[in-house]
Amino acid sequence: MRLMLLFLMLLCPCHCLASGLSQNQLKAAFLYRFSQFSTWPPPPKQEMVYCVVGNPSLFNAVSELLSTQPSKLKSKVVTPIDSKEAQQCQLLFISQQDRQQSLYWLEGVKDSAVLVVADTSEGFRQGAAIGLIADNNSLNFSINLTDARARGLELSAHLLKLATEVR
Amino acid sequence: MKRYLGIAVVLTSALTEGQTLPDLEALLAQPLQEIPEDTEVTSASRMAQSSSESMAITHIITDQDILQYNLRSMADILAQFSGLTTRDDGSFLYVGARGIGRPSDFNARILFLLNGTRINENMLDASLLGNEFFVDVELIDRVEYSPGAAAALYGNNALLGVINIITKSSAQIGTLEGSLNLTHEGDKHMRLTAGHRSEQGNDSWFSLSHIGRDDIKFGFDLISPEDAAFAHLNQEKSTRVTLSHQQGGLHFNAAGVWRERQYPELGLVPDYTEVIRDNSDSYLLALTYDARLTPYTDIYLHASTHGNDYTRSIPVQESDNSLDRVDSLFSGRWSNVDSRLIYHGLQNHLWLVGLDLQQDHRQLFDARSQSGLLQQRFTNNGLRYGIYLQDHWQVASDLALQLALRYDHTDRAAHWSPSLSIGYQINADSRLLLRYNRAYRAANQLESGNNRYFFAPRLGGESISTSEVSLKQRWSSSFTSFVTLYYSDIDDLITEYLDAPIFYNSPPIKSLGLEAGVSKRWADGTNLVASLAVQRTTDEEFGRLGNSPMLIGQLRYNRPIWRPDLVFSWLTQGISERITPYGRQGGYISHDLNLVWTPNRSLDLALGIQNVGNKRIEEVTDLSGIPTLQRPRQAHLSVRWRWAP
C-alpha cells in the first residue's frame, strides 16, 4: 500500500524538465553542427546548401534552425527533385529512406563533394558519410571516414572523437 | 555519452529560445521525447538493419537504461526482456524463455553473442552470464533480444532466441573511467577503464575489474542456526580483463575472466571447512572485418578462438569416515570462422549468404576422486559447419517476404533449418509479422558423453518448430505497443533423468504463448515500459513443464524528480507459480527502487534497493530439488567517475 502511494505520488506531473526538442529539431541541430565540423574541397562555397529528402518535418526544422543561426555564409535548405539536383548540395540528409531509395540518392552524388547524412542503418551502410541513428533513448552518430575522404571531405578530429563508431 | 542530462536540459531551453545551439556533446545527451520509429538492430537478421525493416521483433536495453534503472548485472538486464526469467543458484545464472527453463538447463537453448561473436561454450553449450561473464555491464552499449527460433541464420542453440551484447566505444567511455559498486552486505565491484580515440578515428579501450563477495548469505534455510558461522567460507571473487580495438572495418576484441567461488556444503561432510570450490576461467580473442566491397556488396569476416575451464572440487565422506575429494573438469577450446556476403544489387531483393565453421580443439570432461576410486573421462573434438542463404524480397511497398535456409553438419548429424517470414505494413503505424522457423540443438558433450559412459541410449538432437504472429503498433509518437502470439512443437527435448546423470529425448512438447508490451514516454522525461508474457508449455509425461510460469510481468518506470539530473526509477517483476518435479514454487512480485544523480558529465551516483518488500523468492535450479533464495532485499550504492578532456 505504501509502495502504491509512493508510486502515485511519483506519477504526479513534474515540471522540473521543460519540454525538449522534437526528434527532427534534434536532427536539424546535428546537421548544422556536422556542417561546422566539416571542410569541403576548394573552391570555397558562396552558399551553404542543405538538402533534405524524405522528411518534410525535418526540412521545416532545418529551415527554422537556419533562420535563427548567425552565419558568415549564406545558407538555405532545399528538397532536390532528383539525384542530379542533389549534386548541388553541400550537405544531403537522406531521411527515412529505404534501401533502394537510399541507393538512388547515394549513386546520384557518388562523384560529388556532398556530405551525405542518413538516419537509417541501411543508408549509412550503403555509403553515407555520417549515420545519425536513434537508439531507444537518444541520437548517436557514426562516421564512414573512407567514404567522406573519397568525396574530398575532411571531418574534424572533434567529430571523429564523438562518433560512436568511425569506419 | 548519454549521461549529461542536466547540461542537456539547460541547453534545450536555450535552443528553444532560438539563440544558442547546443554543442555536439549536449546534443548527444539530449533524451528523445518520441519513441523512435527506426533503431538499429542486428540480431534478427544477422546484419545491421532498421527495426522497421526487420522481420522479427527485437527488444533492446540501452546503456541509458542500464544507468537509469541501475542494472548491475546481466541477470538484471535479462530480467527486463519480455518473457525471460532468470534464476541464480549462487554459482550459475540460468535463463528461461518461452516456457523452457528447467532445472539443470544451462542456457544452451538461447544463443548468446558478444559483438556478434558466439559465446556459448562448447562443452554444455552453456552461456556463462554470472560474475564469470566477459564484460562489465557498464561497458555495454546495448543488449538486443530477438525471441523465437533463429537457426536458419545462426544454427545450433538458437532455439528460443538470440541475445546480442554490444559493447561501447571509447567515445562513450572517455579517456578514463572508474566505478565502484557496493552493497550493504559487503559485495564490492571495482572497475577501471582507459579509452583512446585517435585523430584518424581508431578506437581502443582496455578495462580491468574485480568483484569480491565475502560472507555471502546462504541461499537456503539453515538447519542449524550455528551453521551461519560458516558464512565466512562462502566467498566469491572474479577478475575481468577486456580489450577492444577498432580501426576502420577491423575490430579486435579480447576478454578474459577468472572466477573463484567457494562455499561450505552444509551437511555433506562433518568438517564444514572442507569447502566446495567452483572455479571458471574463460577467454576469447575475436577479429572481425566488416566493409562494403562494392556499392551493392557488403562483406563480413570473423575469426575467434575461445577457451573455458570449469573445475569443481567437492569433499566427500567415505564409508570409513575418511575424507575424499571429487575433482571434475570441463575444459573446452574451440575456434570459429564466420563469413557472409550481403548483396542488394537485384531490385527489391537483399541476399545474404554465409558460412560458419567451428573447430572444437578440445571437449574434455574429467572427474576423479583423489583416492582414485572414481574416474570418468571423455574427450572429443570435431568440425561443425553451417551454410545459409537468405533472401529478403520487398514484394510491394507494404509487403516483404523473407526466406532463409541453413544446412548444418556435425560429426553426429546433419540438419536443415528453414525459415519463412512475411511482413505486411497495414498502415503507417501498424506492421504485421508472420514467421515460421525450425531450429535444432545437437546433444552437447556432457549429454552425449554421459550417456556413452553409462551405456544409455544414444541421444538425438532436439528440434523446435515455431509459428508466430506479431503486431507492432505505433499509437502516437510517444506510445507504442507490440503483441506476439506463438505456438511451438518441440520434439526430443533433451532431458536429464531425476535419479541418474543420464539423458533422454522427451516425448513431444507443445508450447503456446503470448508476449505483449507497451512503451510510453512523456514530455517531462517520464518513461514507462510494461510487458506481459502468458505461456503454457506442456509435455505428455508431466503436464506443465518444470519451472515454467504461466505469467511473467515486467514493468519499468523512470522520471526526473525535483531536479532534472536526479532520476527515480522503479522496476517490478512478477512471476506466477512454477511447478517442479519437487513441488510448487510460489509466485511473487518484487520491486526495485533506484535514484540516479548525474550532477555533471563526469559523475554518476546511484543508490538503490533491490526487492524493497523483501519478498521471499525461491527457485529450483538443479536436480537436487533444493530451492534457492533469490534476490533478497539489498541496498546498493554505485559511483561512476569519468574523465574525458
Number of Cβ within a 10 Å radius of residue B586: 12
CATH number for the segment(s) B31-643 = 2.40.170.20
- Inter-chain CB proximity A30 and B298 less than 8 Å: no
ipTM, interface predicted TM-score of the complex: 0.90
Largest CA distance in chain B: 87
Closest alpha carbon to B471 in B502, B501, B440, B430 = B430
Q: Which residues of A touch B431 (CB under 8 A)?
A: none
Q: Which residues of B touch A145 (CB under 8 A)?
A: 200-201, 248
| Length of chain A, in residues | 167
**What is residue A130's predicted lDDT score, i.e. its pLDDT?**
97
Return the bridge partners of B145, or none: B59, B163
Q: Give pLDDT tens digits for A44-93.
A: 888 899 999 999 999 999 999 998 887 777 889 999 999 899 999 999 99
Where is B15: in which H helix or E strand? Answer: helix B5-16
Within a domain: A150: yes
In this prediction, residue A111 has a pLDDT band, given cuts at 50, 70 and 90, of: confident
Within a domain: A8: no
User: Domain range for residue A93?
Assistant: 23-166
Q: Does A101 touch chain B (CB under 8 A)?
A: no
- Inter-chain CB proximity B36 and A68 less than 8 Å: no
Cα angle value B166/B171/B172 (rounded, 5°): 55
User: What total of structural domains would you count in chain A?
Assistant: 1
Distance between CA atoms of B297 and A17, rounded to whole angstroms? 46
On the CB side of B625, CA atoms within 13 Å amount to 9
CB B160 within 8 A of CB B148: yes
Q: Which residues of B touch A10 (CB under 8 A)?
A: 557, 559, 561, 568, 570
B244 CA to chain A: closest CA distance, Å?
A: 12
CB B246 within 8 A of CB A165: yes
- Partner-chain residue, chosen from A18, A37, A69, that has the shortest CB–CB distance to B12: A18
- Inter-chain CB proximity B561 and A14 less than 8 Å: yes
- Partner-chain residue, chosen from A17, A29, A134, that has the shortest CB–CB distance to B27: A29
CB B168 within 8 A of CB B119: no
Alpha-carbon B480 to chain mean position: 24
Residue of chain A with shortest Cα separation from B172: A164
Residue of chain A with shortest Cα separation from B60: A136
Return the bridge partners of B568, or none: B559, B595
Q: Find the mean pLDDT for residues A156-162.
A: 93
Q: Does A33 touch chain B (CB under 8 A)?
A: yes
- Inter-chain CB proximity B12 and A29 less than 8 Å: no
Beta strands in B158-219 (DSSP E): 161-167, 176-183, 188-197, 203-213
Residue of chain B with shortest Cα separation from A15: B524
- Inter-chain CB proximity A137 and B32 less than 8 Å: yes
Closest alpha carbon to B262 in B226, B240, B225, B237 = B237
Within a domain: A138: yes
Distance between CA atoms of B362 and B331, rounded to whole angstroms? 7
In chain B, CATH 2.40.170.20 sits at 31-643
- Residue B36 grid cell: 523512435
**What is residue A11's predicted lDDT score, i.e. its pLDDT?**
53
On the CB side of B575, CA atoms within 13 Å amount to 27
| Chain A stretch 39-78, residues whose beta carbon is closer than 8 A to a beta carbon of chain B | 65, 68-69
Within a domain: A29: yes
- Inter-chain CB proximity A162 and B171 less than 8 Å: yes
- Inter-chain CB proximity A96 and B30 less than 8 Å: no
Name residue, grid cell 566491397: B293
3-state secondary structure of B222: coil
A58 CA to chain B: closest CA distance, Å?
A: 14
- Look over chain A and give the mean of its residue pLDDT values, rounded to a whole number: 87
Q: Which residues of B touch A18 (CB under 8 A)?
A: 9, 12-13, 16
**What is residue B580's predicted lDDT score, i.e. its pLDDT?**
78
Cα angle value B501/B507/B508 (rounded, 5°): 130
For the domain that residue A106 is a member of, what is the CATH number?
Answer: 3.40.50.2300
Closest alpha carbon to A123 in A153, A144, A140 = A144
Provide block-wise average pLDDT over 10 residues at a time, chain B (645 residues): 41 48 89 90 92 93 93 95 92 90 85 96 92 96 96 93 96 94 94 94 96 85 73 91 96 97 80 87 97 92 97 87 88 96 92 96 89 75 92 95 95 89 96 96 87 90 95 96 96 88 91 96 93 90 75 95 92 91 86 95 94 91 82 94 86
Backbone angles phi, psi at B570, to 5 degrees: -135, 125
- Residue B30 grid cell: 539530449
B126 CA to chain A: closest CA distance, Å?
A: 30
Closest alpha carbon to B61 in B205, B135, B160, B164 = B164
- Residue A67 grid cell: 533562420
Helices (H), chain A: 2-11, 23-36, 56-68, 83-86, 99-108, 121-126, 145-150, 157-162
Mutate to test the interface with A, among B40, B51, B52 (most CBs of A within 10 A): B40
Q: Find the mean pLDDT for residues A108-131.
A: 93
